[in-house]
Each structure stands twice: as structure tokens, then as C-alpha cells.
Amino acid sequence: MYRTRPRLRCVCTDEHHADQTRRLMYIVEQEKMGSHSTSNTEFVGTWHIYEMEAWDEDYFNMEVQAYIEIDSRKPGDFQFGLVSGQIDGKVVEHADGKRFEFTWDGNDECDPANGSGWITLKDAETIEGEFRFHHGDDSLFWAKRAEG
């Protein structure tokens, strides 16, 4: 059975942990100022990733059931494979409908990583989105709303 929350084993340097602490302090400060607000609740919740364009299921579910979690009051988080992080985003209106657009900051195999992405609702229980790595890979993904 997969855990919903990741417990990563990190063998990173003290410098890396200091960088992570600074990032988390920034996120906490932004949260206090109210910048992590998702006004539309359709996107809020935990979504289990069941398919990714660039990686197979053996990779994206290797540590935990791959997921992305969006919260209306604080930064969200995600993990697929050995990539994990926090997301900050907002709902944006487009000609073809609403889209949750986000930036993310985290780790890829204990190396600092960041990027951006977006999510659209396919229906009330399914989303389609994309993770983009800054100066790196990108992948579409599909996810279902987690039960419970």
C-alpha cells in the first residue's frame, strides 16, 4: 500500500538543507501575507497521478503513490518518483476555461529543482496537467481525485 505523504531519505549536504530552510521560511512568510490562496475549490484536494507522458508507472510510483495536493489556504505539494516539492498557484481564466497555474520548488533526487506547471479539470474527478522543470524536462500527467 502506498503512503500518502512521502518520507524521503535524504543524503544531502548541510548547505542543501540550509537552502531548503531558507525556501521554507520564504513560503511561510508568503503564506502569512495570504499569497497562497486558491479561490476556486474545484481544484482543491489530493489527486493521484495515474499516467505521465515522460515516465512510466514503475518510476512515478517508486517511493509513494504519485500525487499532487492543492490546498486553498497554504502551499500545496506533490511527489512523483524521486521528485518532490511544494507548489504555489492560482486559478486563471482562459478562453477555453479555468486553469490552475503554479510554480514549484523542491528536489529531484536530493538536487534542488524548480519549475512551473498547470492543471485543467477534465471532469469533477479527473485532471490533466503538466510539470515543467526549469531548463529541463516537461511531462503531461493525468490524475484522479483521491478517495476519502
**Sequence spans of domains, the chain:** 36-145
Tens of pLDDT, residue by residue over 111-136, are: 999 999 999 999 999 999 999 999 98
d(CA 49, CA 71): 17
Q: What is the pLDDT of residues 21-44, one digit of tens each?
A: 665 555 555 444 444 445 568 999
pLDDT, averaged across the chain: 83
Contact (CB, 8 A) for 40 and 98: yes
Query: What fold does the segment set 36-145 form as a domain?
Result: Lipocalin (2.40.128)
b or e along 13-27 (b: 16 or more beta carbons within 10 Å of the residue's beta carbon)?
A: eeeeeeebeebeeeb
